Amino acid sequence: MPVQRTLVLLKPDAVQRGLIGEIISRFERKALRVIGMKLTKPSQDVAAKHYAEHKERPFFPSLLQFITSSPLVALVLEGDDAIAVVRGLIGPTDGRKAPPGTIRGDYALSKSNNLVHASDSPESAERELAIWFSEGLVSWKRCDTVWAETE
Ligand code: CMP
């Protein structure tokens, strides 16, 4: 499996509900590496760039309002097949329908306030990483990688 990087946002509801540590610990327990992390309150411009593909959707204005309303945590995770693995860990968009055991399934009861965003493809990951981490990332290996990332 290819080693991939994926952009994750712990959205304003995750920060306001005190779930930063809980959610990051799930990614860490999966043996993913955190190679970028910052607390930030994005501008309208950054938020609109990030969600550009939803520009024509009726919920776009409320999506921008929500994502810029309060600080969020932007993360970059790295690991084998990280894009699909992280999407699986967070679960489907609507927290009410997300299965138990997923992050949204365990903590979210909403489609808009669904705690986490994660890149959905290698192309999205590349585009989103450039928006949120233009300053670059920290390259390192966890000491347990040799134990965790084996076929
Ligand atoms: P996210 O994975 O960040 O990608 C786009 C976001 O739009 C999604 O999570 C939801 O938070 C939000 N979203 C998707 N569909 C709806 C909807 N029907 N109503 C409101 N927000 C939505």
Phi first, then psi, for residue 15 (nearest 5°) are: -70, -45
Which residues are identified as catalytic?
117
- Mean pLDDT of all residues in 62-88: 98
Q: Is the CB of 112 under 6 A from ligand 1?
A: yes
Question: Residue 114 C-alpha to ligand 1 middle, in angstroms?
Answer: 8
Domain spans in the chain, listed from the N-terminal domain onward: 3-133
What is the pLDDT, as a whole number, of residue 150?
81
Q: Is the CB of 14 under 6 A from ligand 1?
A: no
Q: Is 149 a residue whose pLDDT tops 90?
A: no
Question: Residue 84 C-alpha to ligand 1 middle, in angstroms?
Answer: 18
3-133, CATH topology level: Alpha-Beta Plaits (3.30.70)
List pLDDT tens digits, range 38-54: 999 999 999 999 999 99
Instruction: Quote the DSSP letter at residue 102.
Output: B
